[in-house]
Amino acid sequence: MTLLGHVSSLWRYPVKSMAGQECRELYFGFAGAFGDRCWALHDAAARRGMPYLTATAFERLLCYQPSFRFPERAVLPPNLAEAASVAPGLTPANASAEELAVDVTAPTGERFALEDPRFLQHLAAALDSKHQLRPVHSDRALTDCRPASLIGSTTIATLEAGLGRSLDRRRFRMNVYAEWSAAEPEEECVGRRIRLGEQVTFFVLERDPRCKMISLDPDTGAHDPAIFRHVAQQHDACAGVYAAVLVEGVVRQGDPITLVD
């Protein structure tokens, strides 16, 4: 196996389109990272293909800070040890919606339970009347497309050079940020398997087609269209890669990333 680099940071997003959480370790199952986008706000006014409220429609949604009500239960699947002890290893059960309950801190400093009607009223005050919101929970990551995502240091550095300024890594909203040892970007791994740490194996499926989201400031929601315009014009509107999880397990910050084949 060829060493490509290492994991520089790991992220999950408890509520789709809200702020993310950096994690020292993250469990990746076939359905995605544990606790990643396990909640979303279903929106009756959203497009049929994307039935949730996202920051592309309400930019300030990025400024809402979700946190798990029971953080100790949101680290790993509840029966991981038992499942791993049964050869060749069972797929562990996901936590329940109650165990992965989320509280949200609004930009105003107010704190709500995600399912609290007062929170939905709070959002409704910032939206027009056509939006009809309700929180939904899923055992799989409610990602736009694939269950896992990765972007490397080379890709971000190339974009920064083209734009002539630094970029906050959080704009890309990836699960895995990689620091590459060589200059080759992650797109060279499309169609191949990579291993993160001792066990977790990704099959890199395709380049990640981007949208307005990368043009939104993660702290303020302010829109800077020049960022997506540059990615669209110079990089085929892609940055980073999507992946499927072939072997489940825990990835930790600093873990090596190797090319399997």
Q: Which sequence spans correspond to the domains of the chain?
A: 2-259
pLDDT in tens, 30-60: 999 999 999 999 998 777 778 999 999 999 9
pLDDT in tens, 207-261: 999 999 999 999 999 999 999 999 999 999 999 999 999 999 999 999 999 999 8
Average the pLDDT over 61-89 and give the result.
91
Tell me, what's the pLDDT at 195?
Answer: 98
CA-to-CA separations, 16 to 39, 161, 226, in angstroms, rounded: 6, 30, 24
Give the contacts of 12 (CB within 8 A, at least 6 positions apart): 20, 21, 23, 26, 33, 34, 35, 36, 37, 175
Say what the pTM is: 0.94
Tell me, what's the pLDDT at 126?
Answer: 87
In CATH, which of 3.30.70.141, 3.40.50.300, 2.40.33.20, 1.10.1130.10 is domain 2-259?
2.40.33.20
